Amino acid sequence: MKETDYYDLMKDFEAEEIEPMVGIFWFLPEEHRLFEVYASSLSQSKMVNGRTTYHKLHKTIWQAKKCRDRAKGKGNSVYYQDYTQVPRGRAFYDKGNFIVKVGSWYEPYEAELRELVEDAFNLPDDFVFEIGKHWELGHGWNEDQLDDFFGD
Residue 29 placed within a domain: yes
Global pTM reads 0.80
Total structural domains within the chain? 1
Given this model, what pLDDT does residue 42 score? 83
Residue 152, pLDDT above cutoff 60: no
Residue 73 placed within a domain: yes
Q: Residue 15's pLDDT band (boundaries 50, 70, 90)? A: very low
Residue 70 placed within a domain: yes
CA within 13 Å, CB half, 25? 26
Average pLDDT, the chain: 86
Residue 6 placed within a domain: no
Residue 137, pLDDT above cutoff 70: yes
Least confident of 38-47, 87-96, 134-143: 134-143
Given this model, what pLDDT does residue 143 score? 54
Mean pLDDT of 117-129: 96
Which distant-in-sequence residues (6+ apart) come within 8 Å of 23 by Cβ? Answer: 37, 38, 39, 40, 54, 90, 91, 120, 121
- How far is CA 75 from each of CA 1, 67, 79, 86, rounded to the nearest angstrom? 55, 12, 10, 18
Least confident of 4-13, 47-56, 99-108, 127-136: 4-13
Q: Look at strands 97-102 and 33-41 and give their pairing.
A: unpaired
Please tell me which residue, 55 or 25, carries the higher pLDDT value.
25
Residue 11 placed within a domain: no
Residue 5, pLDDT above cutoff 70: no
Mean pLDDT of 13-18: 57
Residue 30 placed within a domain: yes
In 3D space, the residue among 87, 124, 99, 84 whose CA is nearest the CA of residue 49 turns out to be 99
Range of the domain at 65: 19-150
Residue 119, pLDDT above cutoff 70: yes
Q: How far out from the chain centre does Cα 118 lie?
A: 10
Residue 85 placed within a domain: yes
Given this model, what pLDDT does residue 49 score? 78
How many Å apart are CA 129 and CA 106, to the nearest integer? Answer: 9
Residue 93 placed within a domain: yes
Q: Residue 114's pLDDT band (boundaries 50, 70, 90)? A: very high
Given this model, what pLDDT does residue 48 score? 75
